[in-house]
Amino acid sequence: MLSSLLSSAQLAPPLEEAAGEALAGELAATAGWRPYPRSLAAVAGALFFIGRRGREKRLCVLWPAGLEPALAGDFHGERTQAAVGGLPIVIQAGPLDHANASGLRVHLQFTAPRLVGTRAAFGAGDRLGLATPAHVQALRGLGLAAIFAQQSVREMSRTGRTPEQVLDSATFGVLEQGWREGYGADADHLKTIEDADATAAAGFTMFTVDPGDHVDGVPGGESAARAKFEALPWGELETTSEDMRRAYVGRTFRLPGDLQIGFDDSTLVAAAVKYGRALAHTAAMYRHLAGVMGRRPFELEMSVDETDSPTTAAEHLFVARELRRLGVRWVSLAPRFVGRFEKGVDYLGDLGEFERCFAEHVAVARRLGPYKISIHSGSDKFSIYPIAARLAGGLVHLKTAGTSYLEALRAVARAAPALFREVLDFAIARYPEDRASYHVSADPGEVPTPESLADDELPGVLDHFHARQVLHVTFGSVVGAEDAGRPRLRDRLLETLADNEEAHYEAVAKHIERHARPFAEGREGLSPEEGDGDDR
């Protein structure tokens, strides 16, 4: 079997489960590293796999002794010799570092991120750099486009990770689980040119521009609003106040589903004052990215979800028309929805009102794109998933992040109760400060105290509204805290999760699949060519 795999110049198809298990067993017995069976992949005279020994994982590259492939020079590690089925081999076991990840993305192209288009997409953030294999397990067979590398600059800063590390951990996770269906890499909530440059250089394929700092949600009275309207950066918007009025005032825009949106002067002024500067910033970021990326294709999302007031259908239509006029091409847009999308808990609001407003947003996206409606802070919003899936069909992108971290803590609570108690106690103390940059309403006084719970009650803390939010927003403090005289919380968490890897993967995969399954139906969406762009 090994000889036939190594004889193929092209990427060999994935091994059947039984064959993969058999070869993995042979390699474990002779090479010293136990392969993850799904990770076995052969190309150009070399066999790649992720191998494990104790807590340690390595990228292993294997070839016949005396026949070193040309690609071997793109990887590094310690070489040993062995024999498998009578075939003398060389096996090189290298660290899961940036150099080896870069080589993988060149030679095993399914490990490199790519565009996902307008297919229904699921974004799975990974704050600890361990969860991609579980995310793959959750999404396998559902037909959704996967975004396995997804992290905001804010999260990277708080966890001490770089854009390269975020992408590299997704690369190794994709190989470990043998995911060959492609995945995207989303540089989330970008606010500055510098952040865009760093994530572009790392190899991200999707850029979510967050112009929230430029949104004016408090226009003031009518006279103040009109003054702000006239003071907009018309040069950057490449139009004039008079031309904009001619384009909107007195017009009615017809949308799918017999919806109509009419603009009078007040409607236009309110939309332009609220989002005009955000549009200018988004267009500038888009053009900068286009220059930085050169011939590399990329996808753009505009996100205004982290603002104070909901995005109306008229405001959404205004934003989409102006983006198009400015020459911006985008694949998804994240409005600020009605209700409250707080971290780590279900939707808080009137579901009937959400359904009515979401239908309007989808209608705008179908008419002016089509593009996807992106749902940020999408973790654990189980009550809205059936509504969003039914109304949007394939034109939807759900983003999750902290919920995978919470499920990792659930696995820790089961495996290492004392460590979880320490994390919970530390999180309660940190919450008043860490909550400042998040939309949350948890009361730390309502969180069960660690000493009040028996060991078998600790996993249930992750089902508690207040505890979930406290643990969710304190992740940066937990994984970055320095512990006097003992190993850091982060190190002990990673060791515990490594020792209980299957339980960790199972907890995360089960929870993520519950998020994704409602979107599996109607997932194909529309192609960009199917939108006529008719806004008359």
In the chain the domains, ranked by start, together with CATH numbers, are 2-95 (no CATH), 118-402+519-530 (3.20.20.70), 404-515 (no CATH)
pLDDT tier for residue 447 given thresholds of 50, 70 and 90? very high
Q: What is the pLDDT of residue 524?
A: 45
> What is d(CA 528, CA 519) in angstroms, rounded to the nearest whole number?
20
- Contact (CB, 8 A) for 409 and 420: yes
Q: What is the pLDDT of residue 9?
A: 85
> What is d(CA 511, CA 497) in angstroms, rounded to the nearest whole number?
17
Which phi and psi angles does 295 have, rounded to 5°?
Answer: -85, -5
- Higher pLDDT pick, 480 / 122: 122
pLDDT in tens, 293-318: 999 999 999 999 988 899 999 999 99
Least confident of 4-13, 32-41, 196-205: 4-13
pLDDT tier for residue 482 given thresholds of 50, 70 and 90? low
Q: Which residue has the tokens 């515990």?
A: 496
> What is d(CA 530, CA 333) in angstroms, rounded to the nearest whole number?
18
Burial 514-529 (b: 16+ CB within 10 A, else e): ebbebbbeebebbeee
Which of left, alpha, beta for 508 (phi over 0: left; psi -120 to 50: alpha)? alpha
Question: Per-residue pLDDT averaged across 152-180, rounded?
Answer: 96
pLDDT for residue 536 is more than 90:
no
- Contact (CB, 8 A) for 398 and 121: yes
Written as six digits, the tokens of 24 are 């993995």
Q: What is the pLDDT of residue 251?
A: 98
- Contact (CB, 8 A) for 207 and 190: yes
Q: What is the pLDDT of residue 483?
A: 56
Question: Per-residue pLDDT averaged across 252-281, rounded?
Answer: 97
* Percent above pLDDT 70 for the chain: 96
Q: Whole-model pTM? A: 0.95
The string of DSSP codes covering 144-201 is -EEEEEEEEHHHHHHHT--HHHHHHHHHHHHHHTT--S--EEEEEEE-SHHHHHHHHH
Backbone CA torsion sign across 255, 260, 264, 270 = negative
> What is d(CA 24, CA 198) in angstroms, rounded to the nearest whole number?
38
Which phi and psi angles does 452 have, rounded to 5°?
Answer: -85, -5
The string of DSSP codes covering 414-461 is HH-HHHHHHHHHHHHHHHHHHGGGS-----GGGSPPGGGS-GGGGGGG
Is 455 a residue of the active site? Answer: no
Question: Per-residue pLDDT averaged across 16-37, rounded?
Answer: 94
Q: Are strands 332-334 and 372-375 parallel, antiparallel or unpaired?
A: parallel
CA distances from 411 to 13, 406, 487, 508 (A): 34, 9, 20, 9
Cβ neighbours for 393, distance < 8 A, ≥ 6 positions apart? 120, 522, 523, 524, 525
> Residue 403 CA to chain centroid, in angstroms?
12
Catalytic member of 188, 210, 315, 322? 188
Catalytic member of 126, 210, 301, 360? 301
- Contact (CB, 8 A) for 125 and 400: yes
- Contact (CB, 8 A) for 509 and 134: yes
The string of DSSP codes covering 350-415 is -HHHHHHHHHHHHHHHHHH---EEEESS-TT-TTTHHHHHHHHTT-EEEEE-HHHHHHHHHHHHHH
pLDDT in tens, 198-253: 999 999 999 999 999 999 988 889 999 999 999 999 999 999 999 999 999 999 99
Q: What is the pLDDT of residue 439?
A: 86
Q: Are strands 396-400 and 56-64 parallel, antiparallel or unpaired?
A: unpaired
Cβ neighbours for 468, distance < 8 A, ≥ 6 positions apart? 344, 345, 380, 406, 442, 462
Written as six digits, the tokens of 528 are 């960009």
> What is d(CA 316, CA 213) in angstroms, rounded to the nearest whole number?
17
Least confident of 223-232, 256-265, 485-494: 485-494
Q: Which residue has the tokens 């796999």?
A: 49
Please name which of 204, 141, 186 lies closest in space to residue 372, comparing C-alpha atoms.
186
pLDDT for residue 523 is more than 60:
no
pLDDT for residue 485 is more than 70:
no
Backbone CA torsion sign across 468, 481, 134, 304 = positive
pLDDT in tens, 59-107: 999 999 999 999 999 999 999 999 998 999 999 999 999 999 999 999 9
pLDDT for residue 24 is more than 70:
yes
**Cis bond upstream, residue 335 (ω within 30):** no
Is 197 a residue of the active site? Answer: no
